[in-house]
Amino acid sequence: MDAVFYPVALNVIPMKKKPKPAKKSRPAIKPTAQNERLKGWNEIASFLGQPVAVAQRWARSGMPVTREGRFMYASREELSRYLGREAGLDVPVQIATENIDLSADLKLALAHARAGKHDKKKKAKR
């Protein structure tokens, strides 16, 4: 059997392109009330300086996070207090960011450490 070819009309009908909707721009800076609250595992993990899996594991072991709908939320202050408790300190831990002055926190930490050394020496002499 020989193959039979039928002539095909090559008239191509151009399709009209639909105009794309304009992208809605988000505000560049969120209000300060929103900055105190972290939304989602990615923000929480980046605040802690840990991978998402570590943040999720810490949440299962008692880190203060709340679920609202499909997102997890956490407060920066609550996370700092939690890290301080977990580190055995009675003060919240300060997480270093780009726009924070670390010298004041370093002085406070050194004073706290020196006070702890003096207490240990006094207890050892007794």
Contact 14, 61 (CB under 8 A): no
pTM: 0.52
Domains in the chain and their CATH numbers? 34-90 (1.10.10)
Q: Could you tell me the strand order of the sheet in which 71-75 lies?
A: 37-39, 71-75, 66-68
Whether the predicted pLDDT of 8 surpasses 70: no
Whether the predicted pLDDT of 50 surpasses 70: yes
Helix axes 40-48, 52-60, angle to 10 degrees: 90
Rounded to whole angstroms, the Cα distance separating 126 from 124 reads 6
- Distances 53 to 42, 70, 76, 78, 86 between C-alpha atoms, Å: 10, 17, 19, 19, 18
pLDDT band at 112 (very low <50, low <70, confident <90, very high): confident
Question: How much is the average pLDDT of 52-75?
Answer: 93
Whether the predicted pLDDT of 33 surpasses 70: no
Task: Pick the more confident residue, 71 or 92.
Answer: 71
